[in-house]
Amino acid sequence: MPGPECLNLSRKPQTNMAKLVFRLKYVPAEEAEAVRSLLHEHNIPFYETDAGNWGISMAGIWVKENADVEQARRLIDTYQQSLANENRFEETPSILESLLQRPVISLLALAFLAVILYFSLKPFIFFGQ
């Protein structure tokens, strides 16, 4: 059994741990690459982890130095704000416009929906007959 000299409880914990600055789950590849290049341009040392084989690990970009964490977060926040401003002005088509762009597929989808609805409600409509 180890003696008390083996248990050095007065030792200070490591103060320079890596910090997560960007989660990569559900992030498009273009955005992740832009964040990587942004950190490279500003000479911020970082490393990247993936989700692993089963997708249960933390996929993210980690900054190695505590002094660089705030700068990295500011850069990423600024980039994401500019990305949001660009996407804000894109006009999305309405449902009617989407249906009119592909009329054949829209009619087939509506017919399929009507068939499923008919067979789903048939036992309740003709219950007493």
Q: What is the pLDDT of residues 74-128, one digit of tens each?
A: 999 999 999 888 777 667 788 888 888 989 999 999 999 999 999 999 888 877 6
Q: What is the pLDDT of residues 9-59, one digit of tens each?
A: 555 555 678 899 999 999 999 999 999 999 999 999 999 999 888 888 899
Q: Measuring CA to CA, how many Å separate 115 from each of 6, 122, 123?
A: 74, 10, 14
Q: Measuring CA to CA, how many Å separate 51 from each of 45, 64, 94, 128?
A: 21, 19, 36, 55
